[in-house]
Amino acid sequence: MPHILSKQYYDEFRTVTQLVRFDFIQVQDKFETTLLVKLNSLLLKYILTGSRITLFIEYENGRIKYSIRLYEDNTNLEYTVEIYSYIENENEIRALNNLNFDKNISVYLFNELSCNVAENKLFINGNFNYLNNLNVEIELNNNSNWECIPNFYVIDSGQSSEINLSSNEGMQQEIIAQWIIDYFSDSGRVFFSPRFKKGSEEKELTDIILISQETVCLIESKVISIFNKGTLPNRKKLKENALKNIDKAFKQLKGAVRNIQEQKFDFYTIDNKVINIPICNNFFGIVLISDLDLIISDNLSNDTQKIHNIYKQFQLEFPVFIMDLFELSKISHAANLIDGVNLLESFFKLLANRWNIMQKQDCYILKCLHNKIDDKITITVRAFDKK
């Protein structure tokens, strides 16, 4: 059954992009060690398809640090991703101590929206005593498949959608994006999968379109499929796919803006309601990919040149941003923090500021960083691909 986060953990999970936390929870007549893990959907799918997982515990600067490590190749000793936390409360200590007596760990996976989307019971082989064995890495094993947990949400229009890791991978990313930007519908117009007819053929204009009186933003969602692969692709292959998807999305955005500007077509929603798109020169484009870290982590200089080449190749006359769901969520959240301004216009203003930074620094990959100082949240933008 799904896990409901405590208020303390819920607030923390909502403000970070990835996190791991121990908890010690009563289940029926006993307490059990629980591991809560938040990751992007791409990495969650890695886990669901059998990625090797280890638990690593060490002392660092007088504090107990614990982390989980994911391996893209079960025969490779080099881990792909590490997510860590420091022990901060008594429940985490109790959870670790309990592993001396009970080797089972209930693991709950959370997506970008902090929704619990999968669960499983993992276990540890052999003895475990982290107090006597520092810097220990322990294999987490399982006897059964992961159970996917469906989540449902209702947008302002009354439409409901299901978020389920095991279903259509491309649609799931669009559904999560819909949830993130849905509250803009109060201050503007948000449409999903707008259509038009070219001759007798129906075509999709873009995946999501946001419209204000003077500005239009188009979102092209590009997901990297995992479940339909014969073998689990490594990060290098995923990165290659991401760059190909970005190239394709740029072509689609350029074509979509041209179709709007030419005013040759009527645009309408999935249920055939007319969409009135204003005649304007203010366009933004967003390419939504599965994991921004794929193109900003290792081998940065080579990937930087590829991204710059894509921008140079298409010579778009409007700003285009490459984001993942976490980045889209941060900007949407930042727009919500601006008082006294229309939410959608605030979002567009932040995009304009973002583009100015990109132009000044000659970079095209930016990430928002949250900082909490004296209970006040500040959001800064960092360039990751500056030449």
Which residues contact residue 304 at a Cβ distance below 8 angstroms, ignoring those fewer than 6 apart? 365, 385, 386, 387
Interval 176-183 mean pLDDT: 85
Does one domain contain both 128 and 227?
A: no
Cα gap 220→207, rounded to integer Å: 5
Task: Name the token pair of 357.
Answer: 């930074």
pLDDT of residue 126: 72
Does one domain contain both 95 and 172?
A: no
Does one domain contain both 66 and 18?
A: yes
pLDDT of residue 187: 56
CB atoms within 10 A of CB 378: 11
Task: Name the token pair of 347.
Answer: 């979002």
Question: Over pLDDT 90: what percentage of the chain?
Answer: 39
Does one domain contain both 129 and 90?
A: yes
Domain's final residue, options 90, 115, 148 = 148
pLDDT in tens, 291-305: 888 877 654 456 667
Question: Over pLDDT 70: what percentage of the chain?
Answer: 86
Lowest mean pLDDT among 80-89, 225-234, 247-256, 264-273: 225-234
Task: Name the token pair of 222.
Answer: 């590009």
Per-residue pLDDT band at 286 (split at 50, 70, 90): very high
Does one domain contain both 162 and 48?
A: no
Distance from first CA to last CA of the chain, Å, rounded? 48
Lowest mean pLDDT among 61-75, 264-278, 311-325: 61-75
Task: Name the token pair of 224.
Answer: 């990297």
pLDDT, the chain, mean: 84
Does one domain contain both 165 and 312?
A: yes
Quickly count helices (H) and strands (E) in the chain: 8, 22
pLDDT in tens, 6-29: 888 988 998 888 999 999 988 888
Does one domain contain both 246 and 310?
A: yes
Displacement of CA 287 from its chain's centroid (Å) = 13
Displacement of CA 130 from its chain's centroid (Å) = 33
β partners of residue 217? 210, 284
84 inside domain: yes
CB atoms within 10 A of CB 349: 15
1 inside domain: no
Task: Name the token pair of 341.
Answer: 């301004």
Q: Which domain holds residue 205?
A: 151-383
Does one domain contain both 62 and 171?
A: no
pLDDT exceeds 80 at position 284: yes
pLDDT exceeds 60 at position 371: no
Q: Which of 362-371's residues contact partners 24+ apart within 8 Å by CB, and which partners?
A: 362/386, 362/387, 363/387, 364/307, 364/308, 364/311, 364/322, 365/292, 365/295, 365/296, 365/304, 365/307, 365/322, 366/321, 367/292, 367/296, 367/327, 368/327, 368/330, 368/331, 368/334, 370/15, 370/16, 370/330
Q: Are strands 136-142 and 116-124 parallel, antiparallel or unpaired?
A: antiparallel
pLDDT in tens, 35-77: 999 999 889 988 988 888 999 998 888 899 999 998 876 666 6
Domain's final residue, options 148, 178, 196 = 148
Q: How many residues does the chain have?
A: 387
Task: Name the token pair of 221.
Answer: 């969602």
Cβ atoms of 382 and 366 closer than 8 Å: yes
